[in-house]
């Protein structure tokens, strides 16, 4: 009888007198109910870590000229959490992005990055569901390119 009990304990199977093997009930471990806490997301992220389910609304696409570009957001009732800056036709150096809310408050996000052509950066704005009136992109020193070719910057929101 002791050998049968040790066999049951070691294998988890119980053989009945009819020769049918029954599995021992599974034990639920208290460790199965752990909650994993995610660290806060950084302000500037590479576009490749953005979830694929995010839907971006294209705001504008501008040629990079001068020291800054300011765009007015047409839908001031739209709630914005993140901005995506994408470079085309050449690299774009960006110092900072200044977001003016409909309330008049300004939110400045330091970027200090160069975005290669075909690449993008995602900026998480502090706060959720912000109502945005204007977005100003302040450029850094742009690399020299041919006179006829100007880098282009696309701005999208989510």
pLDDT digits (tens, 9 = 90+) for 17-69: 555 555 544 444 455 555 555 555 445 555 455 555 568 889 999 999 889 99
**CATH number given to 44-157:** 2.60.120.260
Residue spans per domain, the chain: 44-157
The DSSP annotation for 55-108 comes to --EEEEEEE--SSEEEEE-S-TT-EE-EEEEEEESS-EEEEEEEEEETTS-EEE
Question: Is the model more confident about 86 or about 146?
Answer: 86
**Distance of alpha carbon 53 from alpha carbon 106, whole angstroms:** 29
- 121: its two tokens: 């950066």
Is 0.75 surpassed by the pTM of this model?
no
- The number of angstroms, rounded, from the C-alpha of 81 to the middle of its chain's C-alpha atoms is 10
Q: What would the pLDDT profile of 83-141 be if each residue is shown by its tens digit? A: 999 999 999 999 999 999 999 999 999 999 999 999 999 999 988 888 999 999 999 88
Residue 98 neighbours by CB distance under 10 Å: 15
């Amino acid at each position: 009888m002791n050998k049968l009990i040790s066999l049951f304990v070691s294998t988890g199977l119980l053989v009945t007198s009819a020769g049918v093997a029954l599995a021992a009930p599974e034990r639920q471990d208290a460790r199965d109910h752990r909650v994993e806490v995610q660290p806060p997301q950084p302000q500037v992220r590479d576009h490749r870590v953005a979830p694929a389910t995010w839907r971006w609304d294209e705001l504008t696409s501008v040629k990079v000229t001068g020291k800054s570009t300011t765009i007015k957001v047409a839908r001031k009732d739209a709630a914005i959490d993140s901005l995506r800056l994408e470079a085309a036709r050449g690299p774009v150096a960006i110092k900072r992005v200044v977001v003016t809310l409909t309330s008049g408050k300004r939110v400045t996000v330091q970027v200090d990055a160069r975005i290669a052509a075909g690449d993008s950066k995602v900026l998480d704005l502090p706060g959720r569901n912000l109502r945005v009136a204007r977005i100003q992109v302040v450029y850094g020193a742009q690399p020299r390119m041919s006179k006829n070719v100007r880098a282009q910057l696309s701005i999208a929101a989510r």
